[in-house]
Amino acid sequence: EAQVTQNPRYLITVTGKKLTVTCSQNMNHEYMSWYRQDPGLGLRQIYYSMNVEVTDKGDVPEGYKVSRKEKRNFPLILESPSPNQTSLYFCASSAPGLERYEQYFGPGTRLTVT
């Protein structure tokens, strides 16, 4: 089944404790992206990647890091989480090179930073 998976689905952590949210897709998509969703603010893009070893900042990259060492994986790293990073996070992928611009979303990771 074609899908985007994220782990963990739920995470409660404390300020300053480094964490990683994994994202993996099995559709051989070149493009992957991370979004955060907050009430009243819609989806905002954090980082995106056009292909392996190619990443770029989205609209709200501060406090986040990403890497793209393999085509299927695109982890999101919070080196020193803060309470304002409490949010619902989504990973997505697509195949723009095939003009398949629709994005496939993971199930989401609900992060709470206390």
Partner 1 sequence: SQQGEEDPQALSIQEGENATMNCSYKTSINNLQWYRQNSGRGLVHLILIRSNEREKHSGRLRVTLDTSKKSSSLLITASRAADTASYFCATHYIISGSRLTFGEGTQLTVNP
- Least distance (Å) between residue 80 CB and partner 1: 26
How many whole angstroms separate alpha carbon 18 and alpha carbon 15?
9
Which is closer to partner 1, CB of 35 or CB of 64? Answer: 35
Residue type, 114: T
Q: Which residues bind partner 1 (CB under 8 A)?
A: 4, 31, 33, 35, 40-45, 48, 50, 58-59, 88, 90, 92, 94, 96, 101-108, 110
- Least distance (Å) between residue 9 CB and partner 1: 10
- Least distance (Å) between residue 68 CB and partner 1: 14
- Least distance (Å) between residue 102 CB and partner 1: 4
In contact, 113 and 14? CB cutoff 8 Å: yes
How many whole angstroms separate alpha carbon 4 and alpha carbon 108?
10
* Cα dihedral across residues 102, 22, 67, 62: positive or negative: positive
**Closest C-alpha among 63, 72, 69 to residue 19:** 63
* Cα dihedral across residues 83, 55, 110, 72: positive or negative: negative
Which is closer to partner 1, CB of 62 or CB of 102? Answer: 102
Which is closer to partner 1, CB of 101 or CB of 114? Answer: 101
Which is closer to partner 1, CB of 44 or CB of 65? Answer: 44
